[in-house]
């Protein structure tokens, strides 16, 4: 294997795949990046078994020669050292040459580096997905949907299925749901799609989706999603992102949502968030995050928290609308802030069914999002 390549393009592709390198892997070959050189270009591959990323560098981009392939071949190079070294090479050109025992010579300007490479035959093969189950989604929408759900996945490995986000595609609507036992975030969107695509009850790890999100381009473009067996493949430009589908049945979250409410409140999103943020500062010191919301007859909402050691925070904000029974309810303010932070609507609607039942939060402008937060069952309520 021998080639010449432009350093910047090489570095960019290496950066992309590097997100799949885990420092905690127990499989030695996966500490490396696989380089496959063919007459048409170079493919880089990295994987931590949960996700795998491939990046393709064609020999030419927009008429500019990027790669000169002298001899095709493959090698696996130790990721950490290879990534940092390539970034710091002195010249804009890099030559890579694999000699015996996979010793790889890297030359750039005055620098000459020999890296002990690994046998590419030992590198696991990526799944071959049959592309008959493909849908396309805009990258901007995908990025939003990931941001608006993954924060609510469970971080506890005791129910692995809850560390994932549930995807459901039905009647041209894609719905994503994340929940742990104390909160839920759901987001849906209309997606125009011709073919019948079977994308139902697929659960993808929140962590993997966050990694995918970092790779999504800044400019909006179509992302192809291929589903097959236990893998999902996201295809963007020259990057392929593979992730495992989590095993197990996702709980039916629709049962959690009350069917009717006793109280409905509409309030300014930003004002409520700022006010809860101040109360949170105190509740965090108490390590409880408990903040109390009290709906009052004068159409105001009191946000408060207290700590025997530090003091008390109280604040009143005006409701835009407040109907139904007045109540006092305590909740985890961190969860509420997480939800308010990603709601893209000036007003929100909060629905209550008493102080012991789930709180439902929806954007004022549209019905594409729903958040649920379980209240704290406090007795000093």
Contact 177, 185 (CB under 8 A): yes
Binding of its own copies at residue 103 (CB under 8 A)? yes
Q: Determine the size of the site formed for its own copies (CB under 8 A).
A: 33
Binding of its own copies at residue 61 (CB under 8 A)? no
Contact 163, 153 (CB under 8 A): yes
Binding of its own copies at residue 286 (CB under 8 A)? no
User: Which of 50, 224, 268, 315 is in the footprint of its own copies by CB under 8 A?
Assistant: 315
Residue 322 token pair: 């407040």
Q: Which stretch binds its own copies (CB under 8 A): 46-54, 186-194, 269-277, 363-371?
A: 269-277
User: Which of 110, 128, 259, 260 is in the footprint of its own copies by CB under 8 A?
Assistant: 110
Residue 356 token pair: 């012991």
In Å, what is the CA distance from 174 to each residue of 136, 226, 317?
11, 15, 36
Binding of its own copies at residue 301 (CB under 8 A)? no
User: Which of 173, 181, 296, 312 is in the footprint of its own copies by CB under 8 A?
Assistant: 312
Q: Which of residues 115-174 bind its own copies (CB under 8 A)?
A: 115-116
Contact 106, 113 (CB under 8 A): yes
Binding of its own copies at residue 85 (CB under 8 A)? yes
Q: Which of 72, 74, 73, 83 is nearest to 31 (CA)?
A: 83
Q: Which stretch binds its own copies (CB under 8 A): 134-142, 304-312, 328-336, 353-361?
A: 304-312
Residue 68 or 114: the one with the smaller Cβ distance to its own copies is 114
Question: Nearest 5 degrees, angle CA 179-CA 363-CA 142?
Answer: 60
Sheet of 369-373, strands arranged across: 202-205, 164-170, 173-179, 183-190, 369-373, 359-363, 347-352, 263-268, 321-324
User: Which of 201, 316, 321, 323 is in the footprint of its own copies by CB under 8 A?
Assistant: 316
Q: How far is the CB of 222 from its own copies (least distance, A)?
A: 39
Number of residues in the chain: 381
Binding of its own copies at residue 313 (CB under 8 A)? yes
Distance CA 104, CA 22 (A): 22
Residue 90 or 222: the one with the smaller Cβ distance to its own copies is 90
Binding of its own copies at residue 84 (CB under 8 A)? yes
Binding of its own copies at residue 278 (CB under 8 A)? yes
Q: Find how far residue 220's CA is from the centre of its chain.
A: 17
Distance CA 102, CA 12 (A): 24
Residue 224 or 315: the one with the smaller Cβ distance to its own copies is 315
Binding of its own copies at residue 90 (CB under 8 A)? yes
Contact 226, 134 (CB under 8 A): yes
Binding of its own copies at residue 275 (CB under 8 A)? yes
DSSP line for 197-231 = ----SEEEEHHHHHHHHHHS-SS--EEEEEEETTE
Q: Which stretch binds its own copies (CB under 8 A): 38-46, 84-92, 219-227, 362-370?
A: 84-92
Residue 283 or 330: the one with the smaller Cβ distance to its own copies is 283
> Which residues make up the interface to its own copies (CB under 8 A)?
78, 80-81, 84-85, 88-90, 103-104, 110-116, 274-275, 277-278, 281-282, 285, 309-317
């Amino acid at each position: 294997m021998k080639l010449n390549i432009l350093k910047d393009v090489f570095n960019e592709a290496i950066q992309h795949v590097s997100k799949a390198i885990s420092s905690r892997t127990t499989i030695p070959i996966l500490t490396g990046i696989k380089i496959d050189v063919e007459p048409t270009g170079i493919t880089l591959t990295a994987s931590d078994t949960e996700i795998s990323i491939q990046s393709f560098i064609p020999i030419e981009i927009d008429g500019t020669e990027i790669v000169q392939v002298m001899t095709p071949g493959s090698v696996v190079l130790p990721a950490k050292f290879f990534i940092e070294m390539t970034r710091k090479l002195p010249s804009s050109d890099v030559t890579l040459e694999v000699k015996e025992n996979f010793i790889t010579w890297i030359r750039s300007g005055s620098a000459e580096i020999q890296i002990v490479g690994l046998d590419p035959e030992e590198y696991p093969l990526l799944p071959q997905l049959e592309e008959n189950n493909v849908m396309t989604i805009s990258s901007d929408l995908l990025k939003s949907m990931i941001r608006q759900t993954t924060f609510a996945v469970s971080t506890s490995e005791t129910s692995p299925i809850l560390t994932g986000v549930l995807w459901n595609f039905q009647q041209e609507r894609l719905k994503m749901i994340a929940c742990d036992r104390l909160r839920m975030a759901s987001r849906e969107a209309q997606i125009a799609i011709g073919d019948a695509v079977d994308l139902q009850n697929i659960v993808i790890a929140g962590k993997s989706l966050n990694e995918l999100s970092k790779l999504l381009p800044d400019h909006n473009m179509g992302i192809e999603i291929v589903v097959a067996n236990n893998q999902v493949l996201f295809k963007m430009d020259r990057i392929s992102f593979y992730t495992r589908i989590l095993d197990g049945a996702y709980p039916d979250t629709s049962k959690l949502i009350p069917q009717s409410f006793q109280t409905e409140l509409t309030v300014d999103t930003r004002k409520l968030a700022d006010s809860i943020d101040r109360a949170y500062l105190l509740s965090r010191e108490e390590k409880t995050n408990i903040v109390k919301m009290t709906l009052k007859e004068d159409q105001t909402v009191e946000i408060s928290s207290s700590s025997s050691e530090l003091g008390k925070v109280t604040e009143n904000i005006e409701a835009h609308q407040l109907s139904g029974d007045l109540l006092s309810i305590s909740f985890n303010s961190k969860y509420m802030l997480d939800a308010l932070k990603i709601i893209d609507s000036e007003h929100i609607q909060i629905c209550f069914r008493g102080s012991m039942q789930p709180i439902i939060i929806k954007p004022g402008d549209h019905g594409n999002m729903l958040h649920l937060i379980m209240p704290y069952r406090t007795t000093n309520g």
